[in-house]
Amino acid sequence: MTDSYSINKTNKVRQLRENAAYDKASVYGVLDAGLVAHVAFVQDDSPVVVPMIYGRVDDTIYLHGARKARVIKLLEKTSRACLNVTLLDGIVLARSAFNSSMQYRSVTLFGAPQIITGNDEKLRAMRVISEHSMPGRWDELRDSHEREVKMTGVIQLNIESASAKISAAGAEDEDEDYDIPVWAGVLP
């Protein structure tokens, strides 16, 4: 197992390449800190993006929703999906709109979604998702009823390629802008 994702035309960061990271530690760090993933795929030649909670084990992302939900049915049928997690760490206020920005950490990843059908495997994935967003809570709850498990659709997305983009830069004003009597800095 390699410690980085190979750079390819799908995951290559093109803007602000100096902020790009392809190592698994950076990618996993963002995924593990986030709570909501935006999952993208194509339906009838149109792009669709859906926010979902998720959980991760190594190179596998788990997503869940109602078994009859459009997103679960479409992810079950599609051969490719894209997932993005973005964390906003600060708003960078410069002395010009052009130089204002954000401090952020984001990951975009690609993979082939698969529906999980076995109840035991589905429950393991549901636990991963629950523990990601509510650590320790799973063991405090009653066991899921069989009908609840049956009504839940769980998608496994193996990470085939990924990139992280991380910016921690502060305000960088033009020399002539320092005379403008307005505060500049980072709002956390």
| CATH for 77 | 2.30.110.10
* DSSP string covering the chain: --SBPPP-TTT---SSGGGEE-BHHHHHHHHHH-SEEEEEEEETTEEEEEEEEEEEETTEEEEEEETTSHHHHHHHH-S-EEEEEEEEEEEEE-SSTTT-EEEEEEEEEEEEEEEE--HHHHHHHHHHHHHHHSTT-GGGSPPPPHHHHHHEEEEEEEEEEEEEEEE-------GGGGGS-S--EEE-
Mean of all residue pLDDT scores within the chain: 95
Mean per-residue pLDDT, 91-106: 96
26-30, 64-68, 76-80, 156-160, range with the lowest pLDDT:
76-80
For residue 17, pLDDT beyond 80: yes
Under 8 Å between Cβ of 57 and 125: no
Mean per-residue pLDDT, 93-104: 96
- Is residue 174 a part of any domain in this protein? no
Under 8 Å between Cβ of 54 and 30: no
Q: What is the pLDDT of residue 58?
A: 96
- Is residue 61 a part of any domain in this protein? yes
How many domains, in total, are found in the chain? 1
Q: Does the predicted TM-score (pTM) go above 0.85?
A: yes
Res. 41 pLDDT band, cuts 50 70 90: confident
Mean per-residue pLDDT, 47-62: 96
- Is residue 184 a part of any domain in this protein? no
- Is residue 156 a part of any domain in this protein? yes
Q: What is the pLDDT of residue 145?
A: 95
Mean per-residue pLDDT, 121-138: 97
Mean per-residue pLDDT, 24-46: 95
Under 8 Å between Cβ of 63 and 39: yes
The domain of 137 spans 17-167
Mean per-residue pLDDT, 101-119: 97
Q: What is the pLDDT of residue 42?
A: 87
